[in-house]
Amino acid sequence: MPEHWASWDLHVELGGQGARRRRLEDALRDAVRTGRLSPGTRLPSTRGLAHQLGLARGTVSAAYDQLAEEGYLTVRAGSGTTVADLPQPVAQSASRPGPPTAPRHDLRPGLPDVSAFPARAWLAATRRVLAAARPDVFGAGDPQGHVELRTALAGYLGRTRGVVAGPDRVVVVSGFYQGLSLLSGVLAASGIRTAAAEDPGHNLFRDAVRRAGLTVLPLPVDHHGARIDALGPDTGAVLLTPTHQYPTGVPLHARRRQALTAWARATGAVIVEDDYDGEYRYDRQPVGALQGTAPDHVVYCGTASKTLGPALRLAWMVLPPHLVPPVVRAKQEADLYTETLGQLVLADLITGHAYDRHIRAARLRYRRRRHLLLDRVAALPGLTAHGVPAGLHTLVTLDPGGCTEEGLLAACARRGVALRGLTELHHDPAGRPQGVLVGFGAPAERAYPAALDALTAAFAQTLGGARPAT
């Protein structure tokens, strides 16, 4: 095989006028200065680059030699030519900000322990999938989602969450946020103008509904969950977290569940059920999905973000039959389809029950972490923990007249602890109870005790020197 075909491509534009050698030197010099060619990058051989650019090999050799003498390139016999290790250019560091600094102790709500990702099971499933894959697996995907994952999800959700669905009613999306955005656009196009959302609730998702053109009305929440009696006849949709209300942590009372589905049947409204952490109930079997009691009026939404990790970008909706075609069209217009290989691997994990085993192990780990967190909170005055034993976070409210939410968050930040404040989750934060959401999922197992120590110290300092529990 000719040597130039064994080389790799290098994008070089020989702009301007003058001798070719000078233009090549200028182009390579500029690429190194701006950081487009980073230190250590290996350049093509002189023969390969000469063939690529239509130059004489001697022209390329002379350019390489000149830049090596100037210190831009390093030439080693038998090792080829590489970009020299120069200081990072000022322009590059100013225009390319580095990645955000992760908190030392990440106790934000809703984040799982990604260090416990079942890498071995995922790798084994990937090998099985690739070994059996047909060529069309690597072609364009189905905007509704691969039928193997939709079939696996229909069986799994019926078995574990009480969802009533066949594969034809499942749509795979790249996260709950995308699914909600697509659905909101479809509802707006159908003539719905108003949606209700829990207050407090996830502000990011409220914003997604608003961006679709819907007016979002606050739906008050109390110790029995959302106030269904506050829903009006003109409300066309409602966004709820009935299994484990975000952020208060209470489930929707059984009588309110019945009232909600009766309201939807009477008005034709759509209920959007965000089952964001339904697998994690620690004192009893998880409460079944609301969708199972009114499958023609409830859109069930689930995700792998809390069970496996948000990087997978795998979520799903189980839709009433009349909503499937418009949502699939909206998905196709948004990004064509969700990548296929991950869908097939997840399907393999579900059908082989490795997914169940991973969730059971995670449930034990998170239950123990929650107990440790509640023990620390109970030892400090002025704090009250809320919610049933479930999920990946606990709401901690502050007694009136004590410390402020702002002060507590600032004290935690100084110790490298990341939390989330309660007031920002209200439609109107003025005069609302203050508190913080404390997650217990994100830290790796070995890092969790240190995170609790830092959290307790910050709480104790802010509350006036109460002795931290150990």
pLDDT digits (tens, 9 = 90+) for 343-399: 999 999 999 999 999 999 999 999 999 999 999 999 999 899 999 999 999 999 998
| CATH hierarchy code of domain 117-353 | 3.40.640.10
Closest residue by Cα to residue 34 from 60, 13, 55: 13
CA dihedral 107, 109, 110, 111 (to 10 degrees): -20
Average pLDDT over residues 206-216: 97
CB 111 within 8 A of CB 392: yes
Asked if CATH classification 1.10.10.10 holds for the domain at 3-95, the reply, yes or no, is yes
Give residue-wise pLDDT tens across range 167-186.
Answer: 999 999 999 999 999 999 99
pLDDT at position 4 is 46
Give the bridge partners for 172, in sequence order: 316
Give residue-wise pLDDT tens across range 396-413.
Answer: 999 887 789 999 999 999
Burial label for 397, CB within 10 Å (0-12, 13-18, 19+), is middle
pLDDT at position 405 is 93
Average pLDDT over residues 113-131: 97
Tokens of 263: 């309201």
Helix H or strand E segment including 221: strand 215-222
Residue type at 149 in one-letter notation: L
Other CB atoms within a 10 A radius of the CB of residue 410 amount to 12
Average pLDDT over residues 124-146: 95
By three-state DSSP, how is residue 237 classified? strand
Asked if the model's pLDDT at residue 42 lies above 70, the reply is yes
Rg (CA), the chain: 28
pLDDT at position 92 is 47
Give residue-wise pLDDT tens across range 67-78.
Answer: 999 889 998 877
What is the pLDDT of the chain when averaged over all its residues? 92
Q: Cα dist. 270→186, 212, 419 in Å?
A: 12, 15, 33
With cut-offs at 50, 70 and 90, classify the pLDDT of residue 90: very low
With cut-offs at 50, 70 and 90, classify the pLDDT of residue 329: very high
What does the alpha-carbon distance between residue 467 and residue 465 come to, in Å, rounded to a whole number? 6
CB 300 within 8 A of CB 158: no
pLDDT at position 87 is 66
Asked if the model's pLDDT at residue 1 lies above 50, the reply is no
pLDDT at position 35 is 86
Q: Where in the chain is the domain with CATH 1.10.10.10?
A: 3-95
Give residue-wise pLDDT tens across range 185-204.
Answer: 999 999 999 999 999 999 99
CB 273 within 8 A of CB 290: yes
DSSP string, 435-462: EEEEE-SSS-GGGHHHHHHHHHHHHHHH
Give residue-wise pLDDT tens across range 93-109.
Answer: 445 555 667 889 999 99
Asked if the model's pLDDT at residue 470 lies above 70, the reply is no
Residue 357's Cβ-side half-sphere holds a number of Cα atoms within 13 Å equal to 9
Average pLDDT over residues 58-73: 92
| Cβ-Cβ contacts under 8 Å for 151 (sequence gap 6 or more) | 167, 347
Q: How far apart are the first and last CA of the chain?
A: 69
Cα 163 to chain centroid distance, Å, stands at 23
Average pLDDT over residues 14-35: 87
pLDDT at position 96 is 55
With cut-offs at 50, 70 and 90, classify the pLDDT of residue 467: very low
Assigned CATH topology for domain 357-462: Aspartate Aminotransferase, domain 1 (3.90.1150)
Closest residue by Cα to residue 432 from 391, 394, 393, 395: 395
Give residue-wise pLDDT tens across range 257-270.
Answer: 999 999 999 999 99
Q: Structure pTM?
A: 0.86
Average pLDDT over residues 312-330: 98
Is residue 52 left, alpha or beta, with left meaning phi > 0 and alpha meaning psi from -120 to 50? alpha
Asked if the model's pLDDT at residue 237 lies above 70, the reply is yes
pLDDT at position 317 is 98
Q: Where in the chain is the domain with CATH 3.40.640.10?
A: 117-353
